[in-house]
Amino acid sequence: MPIPSIQQYRDQQASLLPTPIGVYALCDLDEVPVYVGQSVDGIRQRVRRHITSARSDIIANRQVDVWEIAYVWAWPCESQDAINSLEAFLFHQFNAQKPLMNGTIPVHPETLLFPSPEKARIQIMPDEEIDIRRNPSRRLPRQSQFYFQLVDHILNVKDSPELRRSLSAHFDRLSSYHQRFIGSVLVVTSEDA
């Protein structure tokens, strides 16, 4: 049986996402959220637009590199009010742990006034590919290139406080990838000695 392509795997796995409206988090190769969004036309439909780069502002504005997205978390909601509250709550929860690529910052709700819906967790990249892409010698060059594409986009296409905030979040992550790369080079060098 032939091995499916990454895009085929993503399409197959995306079909497992909830169809109702709600909130979602795009998570990187380490399953750390990089972006929290909402969908009023269905989570599955919205996430598919992101991972195929079709009509997605966060992709067009280079806020998120689809290459990094390996997991999606989703919370179906019953109303627009619930979506807005949950998105803001999750944004501040995740952003406190590691800066998100979201350009705008929702108002921080001190508490969620309703029980959080159950989270769906969908892996949209095969394990083997995640292992390959986590390798610092692949990840650092890719994310360095993506960082400079965002800088170029800000300088030549669109400059906004939201994109500069995303740039800052990318720099934070790029720094951690740099440290992993330096650490892996030191490990290889010391083993060769």
3-class secondary-structure state, position 17: coil
Would 98 be classed as within a structural domain?
yes
> How confident is the model at residue 63, as a pLDDT?
86
Beta bridge partners of residue 36, listed in sequence order: 25
d(CA 30, CA 32): 5
**95 neighbors 33 (Cβ within 8 angstroms):** no
Residue 91 forms part of a structural domain: yes
Residue at 46 is within a domain: yes
Question: How many domains does the chain fold into?
Answer: 1
pLDDT at residue 94 in the model: 96
- Residue 1: inside a domain, yes or no? no
pTM of the model: 0.89
Residue identified by tokens 């795997």 is 9
Does residue 10 sit within a domain? Answer: yes
Q: Write the pLDDT tens digit of every residue in 13-30.
A: 999 999 999 999 999 999
Dump strand ranges (E) for the chain: 22-27, 33-39, 71-76, 120-123
The pair of structure tokens assigned to 53 is: 């780069």
Q: What is the pLDDT of residues 160-190, one digit of tens each?
A: 999 999 999 999 999 999 999 998 766 555 5
Could you give the C-alpha distances from 169 to 87, 99, 117, in angstroms and in order?
Answer: 18, 5, 27
Task: Please report, for the domain that includes residue 80, its CATH number.
Answer: 3.40.1440.10
**Residue 54 counted as domain residue:** yes
Within a domain: 104:
yes
The 3-state DSSP class for residue 27 equals strand
Place of tokens 């993506």: 146
Per the structure, the complete domain to which residue 84 belongs is given by 6-192
pLDDT for residue 42 is more than 70 = yes
pLDDT tens per residue, range 62-95: 888 999 999 999 999 988 889 999 999 999 999 9
